Chains A and B, each alone.
Chain A
Amino acid sequence: MKGYNFGFLDEASKREIRRKILKAIAVPGYQVPFSSRELPIARGWGTGGIQITLSLIGPNDVLKVIDQGCDESVNAVNIKKFINAVTNVKITTDTTKASIIQTRHRIPEEKMNENQILVLQVPYPEALRVFEPSEFETRRMHAEADYSRMWLYLYEDIVTYREISIGARYPVMVNKRYIMDPSPIPRWDIKKLNMAETLYIFGAGREKRIYAIPPYTSVEPLEFEDFQFRVENFMGEKCILCGSDDTFLDEIIDDSKGKRIYMCSDTSYCNKLLISKKVLYKR
């Protein structure tokens, strides 16, 4: 695009963001403040993730953008178009072919490798914010690893509901040091964070924070000995399209029949299976 630097942001801004990313990688799970730039997109619409992607991306990168697992949703498509317009990089929907994947609320089903980076968009970076409104106080808690109130929050949850009722944003302990908000990914994806081959970078544009999980870092969901972390259970339901029963499923009400149906949340994975199995759409 004429009149703009490669990647929209100027080089100095990109460098600042990359420095913050390096710091975030050096201190796994620690939230690094950064000076979130203006973009032609309102803050709170993925600007944290976009800034990370723009400052990391090079001409030879291959980009994939998903929103809740879907490559075709409006947000994903617009972000893809924007980044493509300012960088001209190749775009893909294939998880295995992408070098940078920007995502919101999901981690792809297919296993990612050391050569890939997953950039997650984060609405609320502070895991402790649910019970502590003061930033001063949450920073102190992180500094001193004073996490008893996070555990207390889980205790109260268990006492009230007989289980830990947190769906997305399940708090995790990174590298046995910092409690981290993994962004609103389902519990299903939490285990993919642990000892992963891939670098995960989290960006919160509105809240001006970057944090990261470097490859091969321990990430443990908080759990009590007798109330352990559980992933979502689909009670044996299968994807109505590809027939998978080992993926994270979206529950959809079929308006014409008034019935519940299930579909893979990761659309590109679902499509890949469909093509390989040569299964046709059951309309």
Chain B
Amino acid sequence: MHIQPIVELKNLTKIYGKGCNLCVENTGPEHETNICVNCNSLVACGNVSFELYPGETLGIVGESGSGKSSLLKLLNFDIEPTLGEFYINHEKINTFVGNEKVNLFNLNSFQKRLIKNHIIGIVYQYPYLGLRMKISAGGNIAENLIMAEWRNIEKIRKKISELFEKTELPIDRMDEQPEKFSGGMQQRVQIAKALSNNPIILLLDEITNGLDVSVQARILDLIRNLHWQHNLSIIIVSHDLSVIRVLTQRTIVMKYGRIVEVGLTDQILEDPQHPYTQLLVNSQL
């Protein structure tokens, strides 16, 4: 039984600054820095490779500055990589890029937008990154539907209502602007938006940060249910190990832009191998 990964990422490197040949060599956990001493560039991700399998939830942990959020932004084409290859194996992608296996980082921006809109859903740590605060909550979701050629207001609003229901948002508030919503509700609008075009891959960036514990639990519960209902493949970035424990099967640990450890989530939490992971696990409250 061979299982083909849905996402393959190979040697992803992202350097901020002018960069030099020594950047990747000079940085990483063994150097305890992600700044290149030679040229002062910042290596946000260096030679990051991993696979995501269909229906899997993969966690990425690490402290701030470890490159985990940059990684998600790269996968969502929000920023351009310095180097690297990115493949998605799914028949839905063939309609946009043809049958050949192509490095998605090399696509033109139109093709990237199609993939972002039809294959990837993202929920950002800060709602203002994922939502237009001055546009109604429903409008934020409508934008994605419009991109997928929806041109019927009644149908659009019906779909928004369904997504609101699914994400436990009050339907009678769909025409209000998200800036009037609580943090938990804003996060749910982001989730509804991410789900609007039935994505295959869901990217979640620190989605429970700054929320009350009870609200956090509801969001996590929602993600679990959606994972079941939609058979999504999910990548969750978090520095909160309890989020990782509840939601993921496999975990990647990052430090200074490098992967220092990959493993089954319970193995990472109970038998961490890398000293940094050991420190991380033992620092939990």
- Chain A in direct contact with chain B (Cβ < 8 angstroms): yes
**How far apart are the CA atoms of A160 and B139 in the complex, in Å?**
11
Instruction: From the candidates B109, B138, B146, B147, name the one contacting A159 in the complex (CB within 8 A).
Output: B138
Q: Is the CB of B151 within 8 A of A224?
A: yes
User: Do residues B139 and A152 form an inter-chain contact, with CB atoms below 8 A?
Assistant: yes
State which residues 126-156 of B face A: CB under 8 Å: 135-136, 138-139, 142-144, 146-147, 151-154, 156
Interface residue tally for chain A (C-beta within 8 Å): 17
Contact among A148, A158, A227 for B147, CB-based, below 8 A: A148
* A255 interface contact, C-beta 8 A: no
Q: Is the CB of A156 within 8 A of B136?
A: yes
Q: Are A159 and B139 in contact (CB under 8 A)?
A: yes
Task: Let me know if A254 is at the binding interface, CB within 8 A.
Answer: no
* Chain B CB within 10 A, most for which of A149, A158, A224: A224
Q: Contacts of A156 on B, CB cut-off 8 Å?
A: 135-136, 139
The answer to whether B110 and A224 have CB atoms under 8 Å apart is no
Q: How large is the interface on B (under 10, 10 to 19, 20 to 34, 35 or more residues)?
A: 10 to 19
Contact B151–A155 (Cβ < 8 Å): no
Nearest A residue to B142 by beta-carbon distance? A155
Minimum CB–CB distance for B252 against chain A, Å: 33
Query: With A159-B136, A159-B138, A159-B139 given, is the CB distance from A226 to B146 under 8 Å?
Result: no
A-B contacts at CB below 8 angstroms, number: 43
Task: Please determine whether B113 and A144 come into contact, CB atoms closer than 8 angstroms.
Answer: yes
Inter-subunit contact A224/B143 (CB<8 Å): no
- The main secondary structure of chain A at its interface with chain B is helix
Q: Which of A114-170 contact B (CB under 8 A)?
A: 140, 144-146, 148-149, 151-152, 155-156, 158-160
- Choice from B110, B146, B152, B175 contacting A152 with Cβ under 8 Å: B146
A-side contacts of B136, CB under 8 Å:
156, 159
Closest to A225 in B: B152
User: Which chain A residues (154-191) contact chain B, with CB distance < 8 Å?
Assistant: 155-156, 158-160
CB A71 to nearest CB in B, in angstroms, measures: 40
Q: Which of A146, A149, A155, A227 has the most CB of B within 10 A?
A: A155
Supply 27 A–B pairs (Cβ within 8 Å), ascending by A.
Answer: A144-B109, A144-B110, A145-B110, A146-B110, A148-B143, A148-B147, A151-B146, A152-B135, A152-B146, A155-B139, A155-B142, A155-B146, A156-B135, A156-B136, A156-B139, A159-B136, A159-B139, A159-B175, A160-B175, A224-B151, A224-B152, A225-B151, A225-B152, A225-B153, A226-B152, A226-B154, A227-B153
